[in-house]
C-alpha cells in the first residue's frame, strides 16, 4: 500500500515540476508580448496605440485604488495561459490582460470573466480588433485589421459587421456603406483600385437592386441589377455621349433595347450590350479576410473555485498584486482544505434535490438539477450518398431528369391568382423518358421510365410565392452532387432523401397520401399565400416515377423545404406533438447525438421569445392550427432545432453556463435590429432549463430551474398529411381502452389542435 502511495506521489511531483517549467515559460513569453500591447484610449477609428496608453494596465497596477470587491492579481494557469489585472469573485473584473496558449491575447475591460467594454484582441496571425465588446463578442463600434492588411472600421453585432462601416482592402479596393450579418447589404459604394466604382444597392454581399456603375473611362450604367449583373431596365451611357436604353439580361433572348449614337460617335453599327457583361466579369468584389477564430469562442482556463479561497489571495497592504501560481488540482479544493466550502456546496445541493424531489445520486440530468446540462455529441452528416451501385441510384437519376424537365420546360408567366381548375387532381402531365432520348427529353443512361407532374401550374406558383429561383432549385436537386438517403424509413414507411446542400428534403409517398394532399392543396395554397409567416412546411413539387419494363413500379415523391437547414450548427432537435404515449426517445444516452430527434418527454427546456416575436408566434400558431382543423388533418408536430451559442458538448466545460438576464436581453435587442429576421428561421432566443420529478415522468413541461442559455431557434410544423380516416379512428378506439385517451396521438383533429396549442403555449413563453 505504501509503495502505491509513494508511486502516486512521485507521479504527482513530476507532473507538478513539468507544470512549473511550462508556466514560467508562459509568463516570460506573455510579458514579452504584453510589454508591447495595451488598450488604446482612442476611438474605434484609431488603429494605432498612443505612447500614453501603451502601459495602461501596468499604470493601473501601481496607481489604482483596489476596492474590497476587486483587487489586482497575476495568474499563471495550469495549461500555461496567463492573466494579469483586476479580479473579483474568481473572475477577471475591470482592466486586465489575458494570453491564451495558442497565441491569442486580449487587453481591456472585463466583467465577470467576459470581455465587456473597450478592449483590444490580437490573433497569432497578427490580425487585431480594437473597439467595443459585449459579453465576449465584438459588438459596438470597432476596427478590425486583418493579417493581410484588410481594415474594417464601423459597427459590429455579435462578431459580425452589422450597420454602417468602411472597409479598405489590401488590393486597394474600398467599400463604404451598410452591412448586415457580415455582408454588404443595403446602400453602399464600392471603389476598385483601377478607379471603377459602383454606388447603389447591395444584397447578401453582391450588387443587387438599383445602382450606378461608373468606369474609369467615363462610361456608366444606371439601372437594375441582380446577383452582380445588370438585369432589368437600365441605361448605359458612353463617354462620347452615345447611350443604350432598354431591358438588360445575360440571356440574349431576353434583351430588348435601343442604341442611340451621338453626333460625335464613330460607331455607326448596332452596339452590343454583351460588352458590358464582359467588362463586369473582370470587376471582382474582394471577399475580405475572415476572422480566424471569434473572441467569444475563447474560453478561460480559470478554475471555478469558491470565493473564500480567493479572499485568502488578497493583495498586500501596499496595493501590489502578487503572482498566484494555480496548482493543477485547484479545481479539487472543494474536497481538500476548504471543508466549509464543501459543506455549503453539499448543503445547497441537498436543498436543490429536496426541492425537486430527486435522489442526489440520480445520474440522469433530466431529473437532477445539480448535474450539468449535456448537449448531445456531434453526429455524422445525415444520410448515405446515393452513388453508382446504390440500389436507388437509377431512381435518383430518374428523379433528377424529371425535375430538370419539369422546371426547365418553357411555360407562360404564372399569376398567383389561380383558377379552380388548376387544383383538379386530374390536372397532371405524363412524359416518357426513353434511354435514347426523344423530341422533348434528353438521352440518358438509366432505364426507360415515365414521369408524372401533379398540378404543375400550382407548384410553379408555389415556388414563385416562396421566392424559389428555378435555376437554384434545379441546381440543388439535379446538380453534380448526389442526393443522400436517410438511414431508415419513417414511421409511415416512407423514405427520405436530402439534397447535398441540405435545402430540400424529398419524401416518398403512398397513393393514399397523394390523394389527401391533392384534396387539401387548394386550401394549403390559399393559406400560405394569405400568411407569409406561416410555420406550415413549404411544399415545392409532387411527382411520380413509373419504371417500365420487366419490373414495373411507381414511386411518388413530394419535395419540401428542410426546416432545420441553418447557417448555425443544430445541436439539439425536438419533435413536439403534445401527447405523451410513446413520446420518448428509446436510445441509451451514449447513442444520442446532434442528429437524434428527441420527443415530448425528452423536452428539458422552456423556449423564451422576445415580446414582439412571441406575440407573432402565438398569432401564427393559431392561424396554422385553424387551417389544419379545416382540412381535417392530425398527427402533425412542431419540429424545433436549437443552436447553443455558448455551450460546449463536453459536460466538463461549464465556463459559459448561466447567463444574466441583462446581458442576454441586450444581445436579443441588438439582433432585433436585423431587418430580415423571419419567424421560425434562425431566431435569437433564450431557453430555460427544466427538470422533471421522477414521479411525474409523464409530465410534458418540467419544473423551471432559473438556468438560462442563449440559443438560435429554427422551427416549423411538419407531417400535415395524415387525415383522420377510418384507420386512425380505429386506432383511437383501440388505444383508448388501454391508455388515457388524451395521451395518444390519434385523436379528432379539433381535439388534436387544441391539445397541440395548449402544449406549445406552455413550452414557448414570452421572455420578460
Report helix, strand or coil for 418: coil
Find the mean pLDDT for residues 434-462: 90
| CATH code for the part of the protein at 72-261 | 3.90.930.1
Q: Quote the pLDDT of residue 266.
A: 61
Kindly state the cell numbers that stand for 712.
438560435
Please report, for the chain, how many H helices and E strands are present, in that order.
13, 33
* Single pTM value for the model: 0.53
Residue 668 pLDDT more than 90?
no
Percentages helix, strand, coil for the chain (3-state, rounded to 5) are 30, 30, 40
Helices (H), 582-711: 611-630, 661-672
Nearest to 173 by CA among 201, 200, 196, 205: 196
Closest Cα partner for 502 from 748, 714, 281, 348?
714
Q: Is the pLDDT of residue 641 over 90?
A: yes
Residue at grid coordinates 497592504: 317
Range from 14-18, 146-150, 191-195 carrying the lowest mean pLDDT: 14-18
Q: Which of 79-88, 168-177, 559-568, 621-630 has the lowest mean pLDDT?
A: 79-88
Whether 182 has a pLDDT exceeding 50, the answer reads: yes
| Cell, residue 1 | 500500500
Please state the rounded mean pLDDT for residues 421-439: 90
Contact 255, 247 (CB under 8 A): yes
Distance of alpha carbon 403 from alpha carbon 409, whole angstroms? 10
565-646+674-767: CATH topology is 3.30.810
* Arithmetic mean of pLDDT, 37-42: 38
Residue 614, number of CB atoms within 10 A of its CB:
19
3-state secondary structure of 686: strand
Report the range of poorest mean pLDDT among 54-68, 313-327, 559-573.
313-327
**Dist CA 505 CA 563 (whole Å):** 9
pLDDT tens digits, 676-692: 678 999 899 999 988 87
Which class is 383-562 in CATH? alpha beta
Position 548 scores a pLDDT of 76
pLDDT, averaged across the chain: 76
From start to end of 401-448, where are the E strands?
428-433
The predicted model gives 637-644 an average pLDDT of 93
Give the span between the Cα atoms of 108 and 466, in whole angstroms.
47
pLDDT, position 658:
38
Q: Which of 49-53, 160-164, 354-358, 586-590 has the lowest mean pLDDT?
A: 49-53
- CA proximity to 143, closest of 127, 154, 158: 154
- Provide the pLDDT for residue 44: 36
| Short-list 184, 174, 182, CA closest to 228 | 184
Distance CA 575, CA 554 (A): 30
Considering only residues 466 and 593, tell me which one the structure prediction assigns the higher pLDDT.
466
Mean pLDDT of 580-584: 75
Q: Which residue has the higher pLDDT, 584 or 212?
A: 212
Give the pLDDT of residue 735: 45
pLDDT class of 732 with cuts at 50, 70, 90: very low
Which of 48-57, 94-103, 281-290 is predicted most confidently? 94-103
pLDDT value, residue 453: 94
Residue spans per domain, the chain: 72-261, 383-562, 565-646+674-767
Mean pLDDT in residue range 219-244:
85
pLDDT for residue 704 is more than 80: yes
According to the model, what pLDDT value does residue 289 have? 78
Give the least confident one: 168-177, 271-280, 352-361, 417-426.
352-361
| DSSP characters over 457-511 | HHHHHHHHHTT--HHHHHHHHHSSSPPEE-SS--TTS--EEE-TTSSEEEEEE-H
CA 471, chain centre distance (Å): 25
Task: Please give the distance of CA 437 from its chain centroid, rounded to a whole number.
Answer: 43
The answer to whether the beta carbons of residues 538 and 560 sit under 8 Å apart is: yes
Which residue carries 465587456 as its cell? 116
Q: Is the pLDDT of residue 484 over 50?
A: yes
User: Among 80-84, 95-99, 149-153, 578-582, where is mean pLDDT lowest?
Assistant: 578-582
> Averaging pLDDT over each range in 413-417, 619-623, 686-690, which range is the top one?
619-623
Amino acid at each position: 500500500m505504501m509503495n502505491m502511495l509513494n508511486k502516486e506521489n512521485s507521479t504527482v511531483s513530476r507532473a507538478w515540476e513539468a507544470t512549473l517549467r511550462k508556466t514560467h515559460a508562459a509568463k516570460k513569453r506573455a510579458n514579452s508580448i504584453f510589454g508591447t500591447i495595451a488598450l488604446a484610449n482612442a476611438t474605434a477609428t484609431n488603429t494605432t496605440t498612443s505612447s500614453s496608453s501603451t502601459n495602461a494596465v501596468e499604470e493601473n497596477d501601481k496607481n489604482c485604488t483596489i476596492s474590497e470587491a476587486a483587487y489586482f492579481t497575476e495568474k499563471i494557469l495550469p495549461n500555461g495561459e496567463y492573466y494579469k489585472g483586476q479580479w473579483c469573485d474568481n473572475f477577471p473584473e475591470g482592466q486586465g490582460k489575458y494570453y491564451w496558449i495558442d497565441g491569442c491575447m486580449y487587453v481591456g475591460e472585463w466583467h465577470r470573466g467576459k470581455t465587456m467594454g473597450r478592449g483590444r484582441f490580437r490573433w497569432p496571425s497578427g490580425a487585431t480588433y480594437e473597439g467595443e465588446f459585449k459579453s465576449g463578442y465584438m459588438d459596438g463600434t470597432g476596427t478590425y485589421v486583418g493579417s493581410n492588411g484588410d481594415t474594417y472600421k464601423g459597427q459590429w453585432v455579435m462578431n459580425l459587421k452589422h450597420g454602417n462601416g468602411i472597409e479598405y482592402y489590401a488590393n486597394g479596393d474600398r467599400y463604404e456603406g451598410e452591412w448586415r450579418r457580415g455582408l454588404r447589404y443595403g446602400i453602399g459604394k464600392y471603389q476598385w483600385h483601377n478607379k471603377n466604382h459602383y454606388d447603389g444597392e447591395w444584397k447578401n454581399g453582391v450588387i443587387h437592386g438599383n445602382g450606378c456603375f461608373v468606369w474609369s473611362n467615363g462610361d456608366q450604367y444606371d439601372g437594375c441589377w441582380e446577383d452582380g449583373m445588370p438585369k432589368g431596365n437600365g441605361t448605359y451611357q458612353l463617354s462620347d455621349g452615345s447611350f443604350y436604353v432598354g431591358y438588360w439580361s445575360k440571356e440574349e433572348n431576353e434583351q430588348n433595347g435601343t442604341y442611340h449614337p451621338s453626333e460625335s460617335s464613330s460607331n455607326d453599327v448596332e452596339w452590343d450590350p454583351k460588352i458590358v457583361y464582359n467588362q463586369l466579369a473582370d470587376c471582382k468584389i474582394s471577399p475580405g479576410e475572415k476572422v480566424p477564430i471569434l473572441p467569444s469562442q475563447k474560453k478561460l482556463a480559470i478554475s471555478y473555485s469558491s470565493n473564500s479561497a480567493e479572499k485568502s489571495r488578497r493583495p498586500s497592504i501596499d496595493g501590489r498584486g502578487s503572482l498566484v501560481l494555480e496548482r493543477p488540482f485547484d479545481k479539487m479544493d472543494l474536497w481538500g482544505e476548504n471543508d466549509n466550502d464543501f459543506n455549503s456546496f453539499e448543503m445547497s445541493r441537498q436543498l436543490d434535490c429536496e426541492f425537486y424531489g430527486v435522489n442526489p445520486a440520480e445520474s440522469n440530468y433530466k431529473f437532477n438539477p445539480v448535474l450539468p446540462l449535456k448537449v448531445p455529441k456531434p453526429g455524422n452528416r445525415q444520410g448515405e450518398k446515393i452513388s453508382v451501385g446504390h440500389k436507388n441510384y437509377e431512381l435518383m437519376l430518374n428523379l433528377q431528369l424529371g425535375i430538370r424537365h419539369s422546371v426547365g420546360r418553357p411555360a407562360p408567366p404564372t399569376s398567383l391568382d389561380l383558377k379552380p381548375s388548376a387544383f383538379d387532381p386530374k390536372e397532371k402531365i405524363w412524359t416518357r423518358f426513353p434511354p435514347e432520348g426523344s423530341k422533348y427529353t434528353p438521352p440518358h443512361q438509366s432505364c426507360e421510365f415515365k414521369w408524372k407532374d401533379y398540378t404543375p401550374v400550382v407548384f410553379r406558383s408555389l415556388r414563385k410565392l416562396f421566392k424559389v429561383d428555378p435555376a437554384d432549385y434545379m441546381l440543388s436537386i439535379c446538380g453534380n452532387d448526389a442526393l443522400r438517403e436517410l438511414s431508415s424509413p419513417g414511421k409511415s414507411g416512407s423514405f427520405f432523401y436530402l439534397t447535398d446542400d441540405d435545402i430540400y428534403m424529398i419524401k416518398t409517398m403512398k397513393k393514399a397520401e397523394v390523394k389527401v394532399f391533392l384534396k387539401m392543396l387548394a386550401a394549403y395554397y390559399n393559406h400560405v399565400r394569405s400568411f407569409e409567416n406561416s410555420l406550415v412546411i413549404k411544399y415545392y413539387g409532387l411527382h411520380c416515377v413509373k419504371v417500365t419494363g420487366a419490373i414495373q413500379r411507381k414511386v411518388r415523391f413530394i419535395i419540401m423545404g428542410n426546416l432545420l437547414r441553418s447557417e448555425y450548427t443544430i445541436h439539439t432537435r425536438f419533435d413536439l406533438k403534445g401527447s405523451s404515449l410513446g413520446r420518448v426517445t428509446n436510445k441509451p444516452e451514449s447513442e444520442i447525438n446532434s442528429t437524434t430527434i428527441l420527443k415530448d418527454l425528452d423536452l428539458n427546456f422552456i423556449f423564451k421569445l422576445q415580446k414582439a416575436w412571441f406575440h407573432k408566434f402565438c398569432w401564427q400558431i393559431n392561424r396554422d392550427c385553424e387551417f389544419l382543423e379545416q382540412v381535417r388533418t392530425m398527427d402533425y408536430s412542431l419540429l424545433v432545432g436549437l443552436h447553443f451559442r455558448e455551450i460546449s458538448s463536453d459536460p466538463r466545460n461549464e465556463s459559459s453556463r448561466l447567463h444574466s438576464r441583462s446581458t442576454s436581453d441586450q444581445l436579443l435587442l441588438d439582433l432585433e435590429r436585423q431587418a430580415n429576421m423571419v419567424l421560425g428561421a434562425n431566431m435569437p432566443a433564450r431557453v430555460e432549463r427544466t427538470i422533471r420529478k421522477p414521479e411525474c415522468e409523464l409530465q410534458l413541461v418540467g419544473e423551471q430551474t432559473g438556468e438560462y442559455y442563449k440559443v438560435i431557434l429554427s422551427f416549423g410544423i411538419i407531417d400535415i398529411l395524415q387525415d383522420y380516416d377510418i384507420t386512425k379512428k380505429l386506432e383511437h378506439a383501440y388505444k383508448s381502452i388501454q391508455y388515457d385517451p388524451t395521451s395518444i396521438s390519434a385523436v379528432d383533429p379539433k381535439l388534436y389542435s387544441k391539445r397541440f396549442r395548449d402544449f406549445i403555449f406552455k413550452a414557448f413563453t414570452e421572455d420578460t
